[in-house]
Amino acid sequence: MSGNAVALTIVIVMFVAVTLVGFAAARWRQAEDRLHLNEWGLGGRGFGIFITWFLLGGDIYTAYTFIAVPALVYGVGALGFFAVPYTIIVFPIVFVFAPRLWSVSRVHGYVTPADFVRGRYGSHGLALAVAVTGILATMPYIALQLVGIQAVLTVLGVHGDWPLIIAFVVLAGYTWVSGLRAPALIAFIKDTLIYLMIIVAILYIPARLGGWSHIFSTAGTHLAQINPKTGKPFGSLTVGPTAVWAYSSLALGSALALFMYPHAVTGVLASRRRYAIRFNTAILPAYTLMLGFVALLGYMALAAPGVPQAVKAHGANAQLAVPFLFQKMFPPWFAGVAYSAIIIGALVPAAIMSIAAANLFTRNIYKEYFNPDATPAQQTRVAQTVSLIVKLGALIFVLALSKTFSINLQLLGGIWILQTFPAIVIGLYTRWFHHWALLAGWAVAMAYGTIVAYSTPAPGVPGSHFGASTATVPVFNHTVYIALTALVINLVVAAVLTGVFRLAKLPAGVDETLPGHYHADPPGLRRPRVPITRLTVSSPDPGGQPPVRHGP
């Protein structure tokens, strides 16, 4: 067998194994009321510290991260490393606000961030804005998971659309059956493989390439070459003087935005106890360390003989840098393990994202506007259907439209989702802002962000669109992440209009939350812990009833 055939065989075997686990997950930690959206959409809100760690890690470190971050480092050098400070500071930020969101959501049974906004401000409009923004920002994110899979398949020499279609049909199948339990359980496999891949990569590849100093100096030489398009070097090993603000604003803006994404909120709300979230901010940085080394794979790819040439031969698509690095450096069987890690790393977040988007649609659009009396069972059925539609949409997106379109939309998605920050996070602390002012701030910032992103050309390609996620801010005269500039505009508009609306004595809406709800720490909803060994039980539950559980 050729090297690629060995790798492909391993990828297929792993995929089948993950599929079995995905379907078996339906029986994991199952509750009596399995048709409630809490069950399908939040895994019964019963995940402890350990599973929350895997779920959040599996959720926010996506396949696109594994492909795009090293691709950026490969292409421009140090600037791409902003992913590290980004995923460092996200944890102090989460430490501060996430427990409040968890508590108020547990007290009131909120499933989505838009549920909270609706309850806090008594505003349908603002809740709808938050829900729609969440769905819009999530869809291209799901599509990009497919782009990550495609990068691996391209290097494996697999062509055509059918592998992607098979992967998504199977994913849709076990998400339908198992809900959030499927990705939570598969996250164990995903993360084990990812950690294995990166530990082997940082020990083995530098040894083969002549050590870290050699990798950095070779990468530095490559980056110092002049880009014919711009007439400037491709990049450098440190951040250029004009990009310092871009670097820190990308880190800060992305960190503030990350837990506005519905799938990240889903991971938080699925936690069983309040303290599990704060505890996790101390152990989740393990993933950041892994991400830091994944980013450095970009430099290894620059330094590995044959990899830059192979990337150039495939249309200079930097996303292929890491898959080619594995192909050239690892023995075929381990390349197969590493590719499986990336592919499974795409399936887990794609499943959680589609569930989160489905929760948003069901709770904040379907129940709100179409069927206010929907029973929990009906809600679950609608959420299952929507998660299917969302995944199908992402698939069509990637197959029918250009890949660049998905990437541009994801860039926009990051800008958009941050604009829900004032309504959600500031709303956790104060009701000072008027809900119409927040809505106006959101609308202005969405428009501003979209227009600026559209009109930013790629370096050296005048007249092109969506060329970068940073743009020069007038007056301030520095290059800043567009999302962060938009957030500042958002806050200013919201603050000024709040003043105006208060003077005009416009009704402020009804707040159904009380101060104590933000600190409440009710114990887990029900049910003793089910040992994980239950997973291996394959006999069907008699009459759909969970078996009686005995103590240890």
Contact between 517 and another protein (CB under 8 A)? yes
* CB of residue 90 to another protein, shortest distance in Å: 10
Among 178, 288, 384, 479, binds another protein (CB under 8 A): 288
- From 3-11, 91-99, 133-141, 262-270, span contacting another protein (CB under 8 A): 91-99
Sign, CA dihedral 58-59-63-65, equals negative
Phi-psi region of 81 (alpha: psi -120 to 50; beta: other; left: phi over 0): alpha
Using the rule CB under 8 A, which residue among 15, 50, 95, 188 binds another protein? Answer: 95
Contact 261, 134 (CB under 8 A): yes
Under the binding rule (CB under 8 A), the answer on residue 176 touching another protein is no
Q: Provide the CA 256 distance to its chain's centre, in angstroms.
A: 13
In which element (H, E) is residue 81 found? none
| Tokens 């930690």, residue located | 29
Binding of another protein at residue 281 (CB under 8 A)? yes
**Closest approach of another protein to the CB of residue 105, in Å:** 13
417 vs 260: CA distance, rounded Å? 6
Site stretch for another protein (CB under 8 A), options 206-214, 339-347, 389-397, 438-446 = 206-214
| Whole-number Å distance between alpha carbons of 452 and 454 | 5
Q: Is 282 in the site for another protein (CB under 8 A)?
A: yes
From residue 120, give the alpha-carbon distance in Å to each of 108, 435, 521, 522, 533: 11, 9, 19, 20, 41
**Which residues from 338-397 bind another protein, rule CB under 8 A?**
none
- The residue among 35, 56, 26, 340 whose CA lies nearest residue 197 is 340
CB half-sphere exposure, 34, CA atoms < 13 A: 19
Closest distance of CB 429 from another protein, Å: 9
- Contacts of another protein in 225-244 (CB under 8 A): 237-239, 244
Nearest to 79 by CA among 302, 277, 250: 250
Choosing from 224, 396, 514, 525, the residue that interacts with another protein (CB under 8 A) is 514
Number of chain residues interacting with another protein (CB under 8 A): 48
- Binder of another protein out of 34, 36, 124, 278 (CB under 8 A): 278
- Cα torsion angle, 276, 282, 283, 284, sign: positive
Q: Tell me the window of 207-215, 357-365, 374-382, 400-408 that interacts with another protein (CB under 8 A).
A: 207-215
Rank residues 138 and 218 by Cβ distance to another protein and give the closer one: 218
Identified binder of another protein from the candidate list 6, 89, 132, 392, rule CB under 8 A: 89
Nearest to 413 by CA among 64, 27, 154: 64
The dihedrals phi and psi of 171, each to the nearest 5 degrees, come to -60, -45
172: which 2 tokens?
């849709």
Judged by CB under 8 A, which stretch of 111-119, 360-368, 387-395, 519-527 contacts another protein? Answer: 519-527
173 vs 233 by CB, closer to another protein: 233
Judged by CB under 8 A, does residue 214 bind another protein? yes
Q: Give me the least distance between CB of 87 and another protein, in Å please.
A: 8
Residues that bind another protein (CB under 8 A): 78, 81, 84-85, 88-89, 91-92, 95-96, 100, 107, 206, 211-216, 237-239, 244, 247-248, 251-252, 275, 278-279, 281-283, 285-286, 288-289, 292, 296, 514-522
